[in-house]
Amino acid sequence: MFVIPVIDIKDGKCVRVVQGLSDKTEFYSDSPKNIAKLFRKENFKCIHITDMDGAIHGDMKNFELIKEIAMSVDIPIQLGGGIRNYDIAKKILIDLGVYRIVIGTAALTDPDFIKRILDDFSSSKIVICIDEKLNNVVIDGWINYANITPLDFAKQMEAIGIKRVIYQDVTRVGNLSGPHIPRLLEIAANTKMKITSAGGISNYCDLKKIIDIEHLGIDSVMISRALYENQFPCQRIWRDMESKDVSLELPEV
């Protein structure tokens, strides 16, 4: 099981957003760059960054900061938030030093954009994020409903060539309520894509639930609050994984 720590950036700071609600945003650090270095020191092999300003407003307000982070660590950076057209995606992949991009809203509003990324950069450079609330995909920073189920969205993306999705139930994000196992199983059973589980992981017991279904293609997990609040020591996770001779390379798509 590949564990990916998450850095959410809002107004240039590292924060935690609960269920996408701005009034429940909690501050962690003035320096997302220092947090990235800490995660690298803790031996993580990849970092996910979400540009929360970009996700809500559709622009790359934190571009220069994210570039600094990418240059400050020697591990792959996965970036999502506000990537809604080809020019932005190309600039990120070529100029920013990001390994791959995560697309949510634009995958529904402009599927031709997704196809162009696939044609020009390959499936290894793009992941689709499926954000769910009440069995309905939400977009625009989790503000609006897209009137499509997570499974139907996953099938649409698989049909155009996407090989990996990130799935999260946004009602679980930031509140340590556990992953949505039934939905993960539903997507895994009805597609051949690799799946990264995000949102809700609170401790090792939750992580173990994902490990138990890893054989179905759910091969990685993104964790935020539980790491920041020391729900389990990072080094203990990695020592346990490395003792089992688990590959620590970024999962292929």
E strand or H helix at 219:
strand 218-223
* Residue 8 is a catalytic residue: yes
* Residue 140 is a catalytic residue: no
Structural contact between residues 146 and 137, judged by C-beta atoms closer than 8 angstroms: yes
Q: Once rounded to an integer, what is the mean pLDDT over residues 73-92?
A: 93
CA angle (78, 76, 125) in 5-degree steps: 55
Q: Which domains does the chain have, with CATH numbers?
A: 2-243 (3.20.20.70)
Does the pLDDT value for residue 196 go beyond 70? yes
Q: How far is CA 177 from the centre of its chain?
A: 18
Neighbouring C-beta atoms of residue 178, cutoff 10 Å: 16
Q: Which of 30, 53, 120, 131 is the catalytic position?
A: 131
pLDDT 10s digits, 89-109: 999 999 988 999 999 989 999
Q: Which of 8, 51, 169, 219 is the catalytic position?
A: 8
Q: Rounded CA gap, 234 and 230, in Å?
A: 8
pLDDT 10s digits, 225-238: 888 887 876 545 55
pLDDT 10s digits, 102-133: 999 899 999 999 999 999 999 999 999 999 99
